[in-house]
Amino acid sequence: MMKRLMVATSLATLCLVSTASAAEKIEMWVRTGIGDSFKKVVEAYNASHENQVVTTEVPFGELVQKYATAIAGGQAPDALSMDLIYTPAFAAAGQLEDLTDWAKSLPYFNSLSPSHVKLGTYQDKIYGLPLSVETSVFAWNKDLYKKAGLDPEKAPTTWEEIEANAEKIRKLGDDTYGFYFSGGGCGGCMIFTFTPLVWGAGVDILSEDGKTATLDTPQMRKAVGYYRDMVKKDLVPASAASDNGTNFLTFTNGKIGQQSLGAFAIGTLVTQYPDINFGVTLIPSVDGKASSFAGGDNFVITKGTKKLDAVKEFLEYIYSMDGQKVMAKYGSLPTRGDIADQVLAGLDPRMQVGLKAISVAKTPYTLQFNDLINSANGPWATFTNAAIFGDDVDGAFSNAQSEMQSIIDSGQ
């Protein structure tokens, strides 16, 4: 009897050990400030699945370097929430799992955010898939429109109209201004909100293959002209010239009539600044056609992880109706276009503008994004500041075009 009991006990213990070992603990790094949408979807997944996701927040400015160092030391996490612009560089370095076959087998693959998939692709192989989607949109303060004698329900559709509206709003006086942008060397801010002015007009600052700088175009000169005019006319607060992005959400102070923002700001305004009566629309280009910047994070998997199947299960949960609804509830746009309307049902209707922007949004594809665009001392940030606030527009174009091409050539 005792022997049978010991055998039964041993079998039970073995079953418990087996069950415990079947559950995987997925280590995932995310940037600080990733927001509640991802945190909540992790909570929902962990509450409903045997496998568990453990996240570690890393300061945004340190994430890329820390990940590269961890890979080199064999200490990298299983997965990472990576700013989509950096995906090509890590894919090119052979540090990410090739997800091509699995990704294309997903029945909703063709409905995933196209810019994220494009940035997640290197040499026709897919290494990153969309995790969080961000777009840039144009916002206006309806109360200030009304006070200035403008139709608060009429979204501006051209930059001539935006400038004219800004002039009327500025006449309200004191510290009320018609327009705002973070222009003090914030390359990330300006690629996000300013470049749509030329993208919608059919041109870009880089060639399709990222090997040629194409900054100096009539469309870009026209875009610079609109911003310069508003600065000269005192329609923009002087602080914009030194704002490195710290005050990117200046629109929330209720004293700014118009500003291009991220779709994330819709949720911020609704939940944290309910007194601001605002509208949102797509950002018009210099010829009136709409465009946007497609930002956010890609989900990437470290090459060689032993938890590949578990990580894939987690990502499929994120793409499920339940996962998408959790993320949307806390401010993230749907990554799947085929169920986007269902996901956003019941949420603030202005979120639909951010969703609509996905279809016209762009993201530059380059392995040198940080050196070209994001760096505060890089050619793009220096150019926008000098061209809009400086005295030598021709020099700003010439210097930036030359420096951008030099950086591109040095990396080839």
pLDDT recorded at residue 185: 78
For 115, the token pair is 């810019």
Smallest CA-to-CA distance from 393 within 205, 233, 220 is with: 220
Q: Report the alpha-carbon distance of residue 93 to residue 127 in Å, rounded.
A: 11
Alpha-carbon distance values, 204 to 178, 183, 284 (Å): 27, 19, 15
Longest dimension (CA), the chain: 96
DSSP 160-179: HHHHHHHHHHHTT-TT-BS-
b/e 125-142 (16+ beta carbons within 10 angstroms → b): ebbbbbbbbbbbbbbbbb
Alpha-carbon distance values, 177 to 31, 141, 325, 335 (Å): 33, 11, 37, 35
Adjacent-strand bridge partners of 296:
133
This prediction has a pTM of 0.81
Domains of the chain: 23-134+294-362 (3.40.190.10), 135-293+365-410 (3.40.190.10)
Smallest CA-to-CA distance from 209 within 370, 365, 93 is with: 365
Type of residue found at 102: W
pLDDT in tens, 11-52: 444 444 444 447 999 999 998 767 788 999 999 999 999 999
The two beta strands, 278-281 and 290-301, are: unpaired
Number of neighbours of residue 228 by Cβ within 10 angstroms: 15
Alpha-carbon torsion, ordered 367, 368, 369, 370, to 10 deg:
130
pLDDT in tens, 278-287: 999 999 999 9
The two beta strands, 290-301 and 128-141, are: antiparallel
Q: Report the alpha-carbon distance of residue 27 to residue 307 in Å, rounded.
A: 9
Q: Does 13 or 189 have the greater pLDDT score?
A: 189
Q: Report the alpha-carbon distance of residue 261 to residue 247 in Å, rounded.
A: 12
Mean pLDDT of the chain: 91
Q: Report the alpha-carbon distance of residue 124 to residue 289 in Å, rounded.
A: 30
Residues 145, 161: contact at Cβ < 8 Å? no
pLDDT recorded at residue 34: 73
Average pLDDT over residues 296-301: 95
Residues 196, 358: contact at Cβ < 8 Å? no
pLDDT in tens, 198-235: 999 999 999 988 899 999 999 999 999 999 999 999 99
Residues 191, 199: contact at Cβ < 8 Å? no
pLDDT recorded at residue 370: 86
